[in-house]
């Protein structure tokens, strides 16, 4: 395991995924501890500490539109992985100028041409793309989108967007811009815990 103060599991899995397939563990449930802790610079404990101190932004999460842009980029690669680096950069620009800028700063076109020089087989190109555009670069891109185009939004506003995209209704609770009361928030939490994607 990497010797890091926090996120060591993420960095470990990010490296491991380049060597062998990762699987899902679906037979158990993890419940993060709701205790405040300043032991590490980020994570549940640190977040609880800030929340209890009354930090104003603790209900903010990534805008779901960030993930739609990421999805569009990954679909573009999957559709035609044999395209040249410059062609893919042009397609990235059509998706988002921020995506194009990010890829350009990371010398994507040059890297991609070096990868294409080894083989033109699509399955190899797709694999090598995900070795290069790994979990760490994905997080950097998400942060880039959040800083430049889609700043974090209130978590219940984000849920409203997600539920609308999935055609999920929840008794009109998410018609509110934010769920302000504890009862409203508990209703949404219970809805999500049950995994019931129709009106309760």
Spatial CA neighbour of 58 closest among 190, 152, 187: 152
Which has more pLDDT, 73 or 187?
Answer: 73
pLDDT in tens, 33-67: 778 887 777 777 887 888 788 777 777 889 999 99
Given this model, what pLDDT does residue 178 score?
Answer: 61
pLDDT in tens, 119-143: 888 999 998 999 999 988 999 999 9
Domain residue limits, the chain: 65-148
Given this model, what pLDDT does residue 200 score?
Answer: 40
pTM of the model as a whole: 0.75
């Amino acid at each position: 395991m990497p010797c890091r103060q926090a996120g060591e599991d993420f960095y470990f899995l990010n490296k491991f995924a380049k060597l062998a397939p990762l699987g899902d563990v679906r037979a158990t449930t993890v419940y993060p501890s709701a205790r405040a802790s300043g032991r590490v610079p980020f994570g549940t404990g640190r977040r609880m500490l800030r929340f209890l101190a009354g930090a104003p932004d603790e209900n903010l999460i990534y805008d779901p539109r960030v993930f739609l842009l990421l999805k569009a980029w990954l679909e573009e690669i999957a559709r035609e992985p044999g395209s040249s680096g410059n062609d893919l950069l042009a397609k990235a620009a059509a998706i988002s100028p921020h995506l194009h800028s990010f890829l350009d700063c990371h010398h994507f076109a040059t890297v991609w041409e070096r990868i294409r020089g080894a083989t033109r087989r699509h399955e190899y190109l797709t694999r090598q793309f995900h070795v290069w555009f790994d979990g760490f670069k994905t997080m950097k891109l998400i942060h880039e989108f959040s800083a430049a185009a889609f700043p974090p939004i209130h978590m219940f506003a984000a849920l409203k967007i997600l539920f609308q995209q999935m055609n999920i209704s929840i008794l009109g609770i998410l018609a509110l811009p934010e769920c302000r009361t504890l009862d409203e928030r508990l209703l949404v939490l219970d809805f999500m815990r049950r995994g019931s994607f129709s009106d309760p």
